[in-house]
């Protein structure tokens, strides 16, 4: 069976009302989200602090079937593999920048039954992540500096996406940061198929319409 790329939209819940995390998450899924992108920050790799595995586990207790991706913006991603797997995470996406042995972290993530995502910040060359593609399920290209929501989209990062798509036609490539209706064409044409969008979806008056627009734009580019 030949594998085909698919457009997938994963709202970041970081910009939602976190006191209503379950309700906000369920609403996004009801409005057509393909997966939930959960931003985990440790106050070290990035200056901000969000939530950890206890919150994710509580969310999984109420939302049984959705695909959970944790974006680990942390100094020691190896530290959280077991608790995140226990919390019911489907994909563990971590930044390679602070990690000494990326291959070992990838191996442990897979051993714990999760998919492997590898992420790079805007200042990291694509060649640094390319060496791990064979042991990963997905590459995340950050289109803002990680750590805060609501930043301006960095269009110059599309060269990395384009390079990966040209050289790895069936690779899942995710973009995260400043992505919404005004920047989705840029992402889709470069070759991204997994779209993380926070502010643009959460703050939309019609979340379902926004998710549908993002997905159809990406799927149209894939189908070309």
Which among 207, 201, 212, 88 has a CA at the least distance from the CA of 149?
201
| H-helix segments, 16-118 | 21-30, 53-62, 81-86, 102-111
Tell whether 143 is in a known binding site.
no
Tell whether 52 is in a known binding site.
no
Tell whether 172 is in a known binding site.
no
Task: For 75, list phi and psi in degrees, rounded to 5.
Answer: -70, -35
Residue owning tokens 């109420």? 62
27: how many CB neighbours lie within 10 A of its CB?
A: 16
Which among 104, 200, 92 has a CA at the least distance from the CA of 152?
200
Tell whether 82 is in a known binding site.
no
Tell whether 42 is in a known binding site.
no
**Rg for the chain (alpha carbons), in Å?**
16
Residue owning tokens 């593999």? 81
Tell whether 4 is in a known binding site.
no
Q: Is 220 a known active-site residue?
A: no
Tell whether 50 is in a known binding site.
no
Give the 3-state secondary structure of residue 13.
helix
Task: For helices 53-62 and 21-30, give the axis angle rounded to 10 degrees.
Answer: 50
**CB within 8 A of 177, min separation 6: which ones?**
142, 143, 144, 145, 146, 151, 153, 154, 196
Contact 168, 138 (CB under 8 A): no
Tell whether 203 is in a known binding site.
no
* Rounded distance between C-alpha atoms, residue 55 and residue 7, angstroms: 28
Tell whether 71 is in a known binding site.
yes
Residue among 30, 39, 65, 220 flagged as catalytic: 39
Tell whether 53 is in a known binding site.
no
Residue among 34, 137, 176, 220 flagged as catalytic: 176
Binding residues for a divalent metal cation: 37, 39, 71, 176
Catalytic site positions:
39, 176
Binding residues for substrate: 12, 71, 147-150, 178, 198-199
């Amino acid at each position: 069976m030949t594998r085909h790329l698919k457009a997938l939209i994963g709202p970041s819940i970081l910009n939602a009302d976190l006191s209503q995390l379950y309700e906000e998450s369920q609403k996004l899924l009801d409005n057509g989200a393909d997966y939930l992108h959960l931003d985990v920050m440790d106050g070290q790799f990035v200056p901000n602090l969000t939530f950890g595995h206890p919150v994710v586990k509580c969310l999984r207790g109420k939302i049984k079937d959705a695909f959970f991706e944790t974006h680990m913006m942390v100094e020691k991603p190896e530290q959280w593999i077991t608790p995140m797997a226990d919390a019911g995470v489907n994909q563990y996406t971590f930044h390679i920048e602070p990690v000494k042995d990326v291959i070992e972290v990838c191996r442990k993530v897979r051993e714990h039954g999760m998919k492997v995502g590898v992420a790079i910040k805007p200042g990291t060359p694509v060649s640094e992540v390319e060496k791990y593609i064979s042991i990963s399920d997905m590459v995340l290209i950050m289109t803002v500096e990680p750590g805060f929501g609501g930043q301006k989209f960095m269009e110059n990062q599309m060269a990395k996406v384009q390079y990966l798509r040209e050289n790895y036609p069936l690779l899942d490539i995710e973009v995260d940061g400043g992505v919404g209706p005004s920047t989705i064409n840029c992402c889709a044409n470069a070759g991204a198929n997994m779209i993380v969008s926070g502010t643009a979806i959460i703050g939309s008056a019609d979340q379902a319409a926004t998710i549908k627009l993002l997905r159809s734009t990406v799927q149209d580019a894939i189908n070309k």
